[in-house]
Structure formats: C-alpha cells, structure tokens
Amino acid sequence: MPFEYKTRVRLHQTDAAGILFYSKIFELAFDAYTEFLHAHGVGVGYIINTTEYRMPFVHAEADYLAPLTVDDLVTVVIRVEKIGETSFVLKYDLSTASQLVGRVKTVHVTVNKETGQKIPLPDAIRRGLQSALH
C-alpha cells in the first residue's frame, strides 16, 4: 500500500514570487519520509538513538510539473520502487486536489553507524518497506 501524507505550503518555503522555492520540494518529501518511517515503527529518533545503523540518502532527484504557492494543500504519496540487499528506492508523487505537481525519487543505503560500511537492510526496515511495495 502506498503511504500518504498531507501538508500545506508555508510562506517560508516560497520565493519572492510566492512559488515553492526549488529545493523545498525535497523538504516536503523528507517530511513525508519521516512520517512514513514513524508509521512503520522506526522513526528517525528511534534509528538515531537505539540502532547500530543509519540510512543516508545517496541520491535524490526531482521533477517539477506545476508550481505550488502559499497555502496549497499538498498530498505526498510514497511508493517503494525497489528493495535491494543494502539499499532501497522510494518514489514520491506530490499532488494538489487538481493535479500532479511534482515527483521526487530518493535512494537510501543502510550503513553501520560506526564504520560507515554498507550493511544488509535491517529486518524491521525490510518488513516496513515490503508492506509498502507497490
């Protein structure tokens, strides 16, 4: 099942023209990602404070399909595109009530927090991802 997160575009996320500043699309996606992790029982705080692994972003890309402005209600839908041995890929569709406005893709790798070396995906992460695999 895809994961869905709703938010509004805030004034501080826009540029002088009142349109979402280009880098803020990643902020919207990251907020959705944070809630996605919480929904699967492995919030960022839990990972940082209690586990021996980290899941850094190693790639991120975005497509801007239509402008977003202050107070636009945005729905971010996260889908798991791929689950590998040590990594996973997420796709995010950002929409308003009337249209698809953007797409984001992120690639994450699980690493040992002490050595920084890749490690197999922890079971809790793999289970959460598999439940959201499209």
Q: What is the pLDDT of residues 10-19, one digit of tens each?
A: 999 999 999 9
d(CA 73, CA 6): 7
With H, G, I as helix, E, B as strand and everything else as coil, classify residue 15: coil
* 3-131 CATH choice from 3.10.129.10, 3.10.20.30, 3.30.450.40, 3.90.79.10: 3.10.129.10
SS3 readout for 18-82: CEECCCHHHHHHHHHHHHHHHHCCCCHHHHHHHCCEECCEEEEEEEECCCCECCCEEEEEEEEEE
What confidence category does residue 41 fall into, taking pLDDT thresholds of 50, 70 and 90? Answer: confident
pLDDT one-digit tens code per residue, 63-122: 999 999 999 999 999 999 999 999 999 999 999 999 999 999 999 999 999 999 999 999
Please name the residues in contact with 59: beta carbons below 8 A apart, sequence gap of 6 or more: 105, 106, 107
